Amino acid sequence: MKENKRKNCIYLDHAASTPVSGTVLEAMLPFLTDFQTNPHGSCYSARYALDAVKKARKQVAELIGSEPSGVFFTSGGTESDNLAVLGIARKAFENREKKAGKRLDKKDFRIVTSAIEHPAVLNAAKQLENEGFDVVYADVDSEGLINENDFEKLLTKKTLLVSIMTANNETGTIEPVGRLSALAREAGALFHTDAVQAAGSIPFSVKETGADAVSLSAHKLNGPKGVGALYLKNPAIVEPLMFGGGQEKGIRPGTLNVPGIVGFGKACEEAAERLENGGASRLAGLRDRFLDGILEAVPEAHLNGSKDKRLPGNINISFPGCDSSTLLVMLDAAGICASGGSACSSISGRKSHVLTALGLDDKVINGALRLTLGHETTEEETKKCIGELARIADNYRKMGILRAL
């Protein structure tokens, strides 16, 4: 295989995945070399690995303001979302049947989610719909925000589960999950939030959110890929999707990924320190200067999502009339890595369901770029990107392709 020697690109795709920090890698290495044992073994090496897992569980819990006992490790955000949506809905229905003392019809019981959720939630909800449940999708406004009054109308006394993401992976729009969770609780429903994009980027507390379940992923906050967590206020609300040796209290059995878990814990610790030291504000300031620079250089460009209620590192911006895949090729040739939306949307080849839900025109959707910054992104890098976008836009302008809305 030919070695990829291109290492000095400007990386503006942190919403897809973040670089593993040097200190995270350093924390992981001993468990890839000297302590390779199963943490549930009986030798010293196994006990050392198990202690490291306990430490990581505490580090993850401290980032989200929970007790360590509520953190269950998974393979990532997708598994956490599936375990929450499928596991909670099925268990809640089972409990309703036990309470009624008779068989009940699933079509009488509702699952509420939104039109802009990650595919891991949407496809899990689709599975529940296939099983017979009544699944409804909350609409969003032109900024991608859920209207609380419209949301409340979807809730019934037979709503089992509500799943609303904390922050959108494409537009970065931050939803009012604390208030939505309270409305769900009043209706007697359990509440899950996908906080994969939010945790570590903005202050997030399970207590303030009031969520019964929260999905997390390590590789979105400078940790390794292939590891995540599901926070559960009460483990009894979930029916496991997998069966095995009883690890993670039977919620998620399977031999623990010790190096990944250790890296996840260290990444959470570092993310918490950055937030404590004003990292979110610094990044938001850089994002705003970056956005202002793009809009000044390309006045035809259109910001997608909320201007104010968005993640500090997210810019989702459209160049109406242009093709995002061509824009990405041009940026890549200039040494700039970005995306046209979520990585999952790129795999499917379909246009963004998120931008479609915002009611945007096809020429806006097709010309969308997602430029997402990380805490290591520099002012110089954003300025270079602005210059390249200005050059590309000028060429499109001369061809009559790029036009203002």
Which of 182, 202, 198 is closest to 190 using CA atoms? 182
182's CB contacts (< 8 A; 6+ apart) are 210
Contact 99, 252 (CB under 8 A): no
**Active-site residue flag, 337:** no
Q: CA dihedral in degrees (197, 202, 203, 205; nearest 10)?
A: -20
- First-residue to last-residue Cα distance in the chain: 46
Buried b (16+ CB within 10 A) or exposed e, 130-157: eeebbbbbbebeebbbbeeeebeebbee
Query: Positive or negative, the Cα torsion across 23, 29, 35, 40?
Result: positive
d(CA 369, CA 204): 27
Which of 43, 268, 344, 385 does the annotation list as catalytic? 344
Phi and psi (nearest 5°) for 213? -150, 140
Q: Which two three-digit tokens encode residue 33?
A: 């070399």
d(CA 12, CA 277): 23
Which of 88, 96, 93, 55 is closest to 73 using CA atoms? 55
Q: Are strands 302-303 and 314-318 parallel, antiparallel or unpaired?
A: antiparallel
Measure Cα distances from 373 to 224, 234, 313, 328 in Å: 18, 35, 5, 16
Which residues have a catalytic role annotated?
A: 344
